[in-house]
C-alpha cells in the first residue's frame, strides 16, 4: 500500500527554510530535517538540532521563534525553553522543532525512533 502523495505548500517549505537558517545563525549542530508526512498524522516534518550548552539551546530556539514570528508564524506550543535541555516548538501540521542539548539528544535518539522517515536536510540547507 502506497501512502497518498504529500501536497507541500510554498509557505510550509519556506517556514522550514527560515527555521533552518535561524538555527544555523546560532551555530546549531547536527541539524537534521526528517519528512514524516507519509508516516505521521500529526506533523509533516521534524527539524532536529543540538547545542553544546543550555544557553546555546535557548538561543537557537529563540532565533527560530523570532525568525518564524517575522514571517507571521507562531507556534501552537513551546516547551522546555526555560531549562534549555530539550526545547520543543510545535508548529502543528507543518513542523515540530526539537532543539537538544547534545547529551539529551543522544538519550532520546529521535532519528532512530523515526528511522522510516526520509532525511531532507540538504533540501533546506543553504550551507
What phi, psi does 81 have (nearest 5°)? -60, -35
What are the residue boundaries of the structural domains of the chain, listed by start? 10-124
Per-residue pLDDT of 38-66, as tens digits, reads 999 999 999 999 999 999 999 999 999 99
Grid-cell match 522550514, residue found = 16
Residue 8's pLDDT is what? 57
CA distance 74 to 66: 9
Topology of domain 10-124, CATH: Beta Polymerase; domain 2 (3.30.460)
120: left (phi over 0), alpha (psi -120 to 50) or beta: alpha
Q: Can you state the angle between helices 54-70 and 10-25, rounded to 10 degrees?
A: 140
| CA 44 to the chain's CA centroid | 11
Q: Which tens digits make up the pLDDT trace of 64-109? A: 999 999 999 999 999 999 999 999 999 999 999 999 999 999 999 9
Cβ-Cβ contacts under 8 Å for 118 (sequence gap 6 or more): 34, 35, 38
pLDDT for residue 39: 95
Amino acid at each position: 500500500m502506497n501512502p497518498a502523495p504529500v501536497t507541500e505548500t510554498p509557505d510550509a517549505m519556506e517556514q522550514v527554510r527560515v527555521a533552518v537558517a535561524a538555527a544555523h545563525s546560532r551555530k546549531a549542530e547536527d541539524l537534521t530535517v526528517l519528512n514524516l508526512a507519509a508516516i505521521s498524522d500529526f506533523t509533516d516534518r521534524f527539524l532536529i538540532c543540538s547545542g553544546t550548552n543550555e544557553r546555546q539551546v535557548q538561543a537557537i530556539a529563540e532565533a527560530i521563534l523570532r525568525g518564524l514570528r517575522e514571517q507571521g508564524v507562531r507556534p501552537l506550543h513551546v516547551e522546555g525553553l526555560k531549562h534549555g535541555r530539550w526545547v520543543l516548538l510545535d508548529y502543528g501540521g507543518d513542523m515540530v522543532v526539537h532543539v537538544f542539548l547534545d547529551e539529551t539528544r543522544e538519550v532520546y535518539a529521535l532519528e532512530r525512533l523515526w528511522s522510516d522517515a526520509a532525511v531532507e536536510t540538504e533540501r533546506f540547507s543553504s550551507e
